[in-house]
Amino acid sequence: MRTTEPLKFLTPAEVPVLATAFGTPTFIYDLTSLEARYRYFATIPNAFGLTIRYSVKANPNRTILRVFDRFGAHFDVSSVWEARRVIAAGIPASKILMTAQEVSLGWEGLCRQGMQYDAGSISQLKAFGIAFPGADVSLRINPGFGSGLVRKLTSGGSHSSFGLWIDQADEAIELAKRFGLTIGRLHFHIGSGHESTVLEQTVDVALQLCARIPSVQILNLGGGYRIAALQSDPQYDHHAMGERIAARLRDFARAHGRELKLELEPGTALASLAGSLVTRVIDKVDTGAQGYRFLKIDGGLTELMRPSYYGALHPLVTVQADGTLPTESEEVMVSGHCCIAGDSLTPKPGNAEDIQAQPLGMVVPGDFLVVERTGGYAASMSVKNFNSYPEAAEVLRSAHGQYTLIRSRQTFEQMTENEIDATL
């Protein structure tokens, strides 16, 4: 039996204040929570050094990138475009590792500036060898299995095109030799929201491969660390996981005389819980005595696609227009504002095809609904401009509770500025 969820970091009184100042829907990111999440990961026990690479895809807003840079993070990017955002934020290219499905125009220039390159296929490795013979390279390996919150988030195993299939390692080693490349890092990312037992199996496979490639100095285990978003979610102890990995790295060092440095690339675990989306309830309808009651809000797929795409549950919290929490609750569905049936924020757990009512504090149109866990994979992964709704604003809340606008709401003119009046 589910109960209503609490707000993560906002107070109920702040919600109408934010709505008045910035409009709705608006993302609020909390600096204190971002710092706490980073410090937690940066202090994971390790054997011979740990680098945290913030996974830019979670939230690429330049202020968020600068915040993580100030904390001491390095960066994981998935495209040349993400790399360009990091550099545009004033961060040196040498702090970037690119692990991309598409290695597009301009990648060589970024590598010349110092960006590190993680080859995820034989053809990516070849392209790097041709452009940078004799350089250092990293290999992303698909270990033959994976784990993720849902299948769509699992990026290891035979149904995943990510990384060099483990059996192609010999071919990759030969190819690297041909171009005089030094394989300094092995990289594994088996999925987002993985089971840590599967990650630890990955470490075993990874160390067998590290043993065969004497030049490897760094083991990168990607991201995907689970978080407790709902009250019913278990708490995950990433420090205990760090201890177990460190023990394996120490064993490896004793056996092979090599002290491997560890890299982790969390996105979700650093950013997601540090963001809230403030929306307004715009309507309340029902489908009769045998049906359901629905709240409609002024956000949805245009800000967050995880519920519709993965069946992911986000904590939803209603707040009354006067900034207080409702005293009574009811079972309701929540629909986004898009004119498409799939825009629901109350999927049946793990089943994006179906919906299920949730207990929420009772509200009426004009009140607010806060969607939690929206600091990552929300603004960055939304169905932009569907139904021509403008991109939402983004605000950073400082440690002293001050609000700074870090992305303005998109205007109509910005939404249509690249369209060209063709002569018909």
Ligand X SMILES: Cc1ncc(COP(=O)(O)O)c(C=O)c1O
Residue at token pair 């309830």 = 281
What is the 3-state secondary structure of 288-319?
CCCCCEEEEECCCCCCCCHHHHHCCCCCEEEE
- Restricting to residues 374-413, name those near ligand X by CB under 6 A: none
Determine if 299 is a binding residue for ligand X (CB under 6 A).
no
Rg from Cα positions in the chain: 23
Q: Are 302 and 336 in contact (CB under 8 A)?
A: yes
Determine if 223 is a binding residue for ligand X (CB under 6 A).
yes
Among candidates 345, 325, 341, 321, which has minimal Cα distance to 333?
345
Interface map 82-111 toward ligand X (x if CB under 6 A): -----------------x------------
Q: Which is nearer to ligand X, 78 or 168 (CB)?
A: 78
Shortest separation between residue 234's beta carbon and ligand X, angstroms: 17
CA distance 415 to 418: 8
Determine if 192 is a binding residue for ligand X (CB under 6 A).
yes
Interface with ligand X (CB under 6 A), residue from 129, 222, 307, 315: 222
Determine if 372 is a binding residue for ligand X (CB under 6 A).
no
Q: Which is nearer to ligand X, 238 or 397 (CB)?
A: 238
Listed ranges 220-228, 229-237, 315-323, 333-341: which one lies at the site for ligand X (CB under 6 A): 220-228
Q: Which is nearer to ligand X, 273 or 355 (CB)?
A: 273
Which CA distances in Å does 378 have to 58, 266, 267, 353, 404? 8, 15, 12, 20, 19
Interface with ligand X (CB under 6 A), residue from 265, 298, 343, 391: 265
CA distance 312 to 315: 10
Determine if 267 is a binding residue for ligand X (CB under 6 A).
yes
Helix axes 31-42, 62-71, angle to 10 degrees: 40
Listed ranges 219-227, 237-245, 276-284, 289-297: which one lies at the site for ligand X (CB under 6 A): 219-227
Q: For residue 172, count CB atoms less than 10 angstroms from its CB and return exposed for 0-12, middle for 13-18, buried for 19 or more.
A: buried
Interface with ligand X (CB under 6 A), residue from 266, 300, 311, 336: 266
Interface with ligand X (CB under 6 A), residue from 95, 189, 296, 407: 189
Q: Are strands 351-355 and 96-98 parallel, antiparallel or unpaired?
A: unpaired
Determine if 55 is a binding residue for ligand X (CB under 6 A).
yes
Task: List the Cα angle 26/79/77 in 5-degree steps.
Answer: 70
Interface with ligand X (CB under 6 A), residue from 28, 47, 269, 305: 269
Strand partners, 329: 361
Determine if 326 is a binding residue for ligand X (CB under 6 A).
no
Shortest separation between residue 134's beta carbon and ligand X, angstroms: 26
DSSP, res 4: P
Chain residues in the site for ligand X (CB under 6 A): 55, 58, 76, 99, 189, 192, 222-225, 265-269
